[in-house]
Amino acid sequence: MADMIYGSICLSAVPKELFKKVMCKDGVERVFLNMKIVKRKEVGKFGHTHFASCEPKEGKVEGVNYVFGDFKEWNQAPVAETPSTGDIESAQPADDLPF
């Protein structure tokens, strides 16, 4: 099993009432979300092994989905040899960038 997991979360999927504003000792107001990372019983369709949930300890609302993220075990692949600069330029013209 990997020592780390990685993935993504969708903050817009979190019910707004679960965000908590807290005035910290340094005088700055910050926003917190209580959450948990749970290991899945079975690996998901895209290889996800864990999920993030913000389900409250009490006051759960029926029909509300509290899952807002998916995660996989981090298995870092060995570093591949870097191609020369000429190979990179010929592979993708500068004016053909995807963004």
Residue 82 lies in a domain: yes
Structural domain containing residue 39: 5-93
Residue 6 near residue 70 (C-beta atoms within 8 A): no
pTM over 0.95: no
pLDDT tens track for 37-78 = 999 999 999 999 999 999 888 888 889 999 999 999 888 776
Domain total in the chain: 1
Residue 74 near residue 4 (C-beta atoms within 8 A): yes
Residue 13 lies in a domain: yes
Residue 98 lies in a domain: no
Element (H, E) at 88: helix 85-91
